Copies of this chain bind each other. A is one copy, B any other.
Amino acid sequence: MKGSKYGTHRVIKNKGDLPQPAEKIDNNMEIYDNEILIEVKTLNIDSASFTQIKKEAGGDEKQIEKIMQRIVNNRGKHHNPVTGSGGMLVGIVEEIGEDLKGKIELEVGDEIATLVSLSLTPLLIEEILEIRKDTDQVDIKGKAVLFESGIYAKLPEDMSRNLALAVLDVAGAPAQTAKLVEPGDSVLIIGAGGKSGTLCLHEAQKRAGISGKVIALEYSQEGCERVESLGLADAIIQADATKPTEVLNKIEEVTNGELVDLTINCVNIPNTELSCILATKDSGKVYFFSMATSFTAAALGAEGVGKDTEMLIGNGYTKNHSEIALQVLRENEDIKELFEKIYL
């Protein structure tokens, strides 16, 4: 039996929805002829989602397990009802539907990462094996289904599974940075010390070039030191991105009052929209990669301060995003070493 390309045949509630906005989808693990069955090894929970889950659980692992199981039981997918976000997974191809066999570059036994969000992926968790709180990764025994339109990446052979997974999870950010940054641009990366921030710094510096200026803004002392040791920014600002007036003052300082051409927001906490808007020129762009972004806060925030800035919703997918993101680790040995230390 053939299902819809986009997976609508699995929507239980509400019918007519696509699987992502759907309240509940069918996580029966008998696949349709145009689906792929995956034996899941590791879930990489979206950072905003896992932060919320850890907070709700008071940091307790048993509670984290319960919350994760509750989400999947209620929705058929790991779609956090509070943050609205998902994450991604790695696993082994267990079965390929009849209609797809020979038409795709996958074989049973291949290790892949799904590059569509967990918020639309039918998932069954049989057992939670290990929770790695620092890296938002959770090893499980379980299965998942990939639809025909679902994107994925075969895992590269020149780096470890967990390293590739950590990078692929945020692949959209460096790839979009590569597309947006022009030579000579001044670029502000907010949340520069984090995973996606670091990858964005590398791409921003490469694309802005010698005539450009890359500014890293980061909350933690530790993060600032990391950015400094990597040598990826022309200026490093330690500040709280939820304090727009403080951020504005500091950006005015390092840009001689000119503000920046492009701001990329990689912070996984709410209320950072206005800092981005105030830091950016009227003619500039703000790219919101953070899943904690509020649409209305951004729209009304820009209007409220009378700024004509273009604001973009971070698209987790852009052409060749997985290749671009993985390539950063090949180009920059320091980032690779750092990520191996932090995310493994």
Q: Chain A residues in contact with chain B, CB under 8 A? A: 4, 6, 8, 16-21, 83-86, 115-117, 119-120, 149-151, 172, 242-246, 271, 273-274, 282, 288, 291, 293-319
Complex interface: chain B residues within 8 A of A303 (CB)? 115-117, 172, 315-317
Complex interface: chain B residues within 8 A of A295 (CB)? 288, 291, 293-295, 298, 313
Of all chain B residues, the one with the shortest Cβ separation from A150 is: B306
Complex interface: chain B residues within 8 A of A300 (CB)? 20, 84-86, 117, 119-120, 291, 316
- Among A17, A245, A315, the one with the most B-chain Cβ atoms within 10 Å of its Cβ is A315
Name the one of B84, B119, B297, B302 contacting A21, with C-beta atoms under 8 angstroms: B297
Name the one of B4, B282, B291, B301 contacting A20, with C-beta atoms under 8 angstroms: B301
Number of identical monomers bound together in the oligomeric complex: 2
Contact between chains at A317 and B306 (CB < 8 Å): yes
Of all chain B residues, the one with the shortest Cβ separation from A116 is: B304
Contact between chains at A308 and B302 (CB < 8 Å): no
Complex interface: chain B residues within 8 A of A312 (CB)? 310-313
Pick 5 A–B contacts, CB within 8 A, sort by A. Answer: A4-B245, A6-B305, A117-B303, A119-B304, A149-B305
Complex interface: chain B residues within 8 A of A21 (CB)? 271, 273-274, 297, 301
How far apart sit A8 and B305, CA to CA, in the bound complex (Å)? 11
How far apart sit A282 and B317, CA to CA, in the bound complex (Å)? 11
How far apart sit A172 and B16, CA to CA, in the bound complex (Å)? 31
Contact between chains at B315 and A308 (CB < 8 Å): yes
Contact between chains at B299 and A316 (CB < 8 Å): yes
Complex interface: chain B residues within 8 A of A172 (CB)? 303
Complex interface: chain B residues within 8 A of A20 (CB)? 274, 297, 300-301, 304
Query: Can you name 14 extra interface pairs (CB under 8 A) apart from A18-B244, A302-B313?
Result: A8-B245, A19-B304, A20-B304, A21-B271, A85-B300, A117-B303, A149-B304, A150-B306, A151-B306, A291-B295, A293-B295, A308-B317, A309-B315, A312-B313
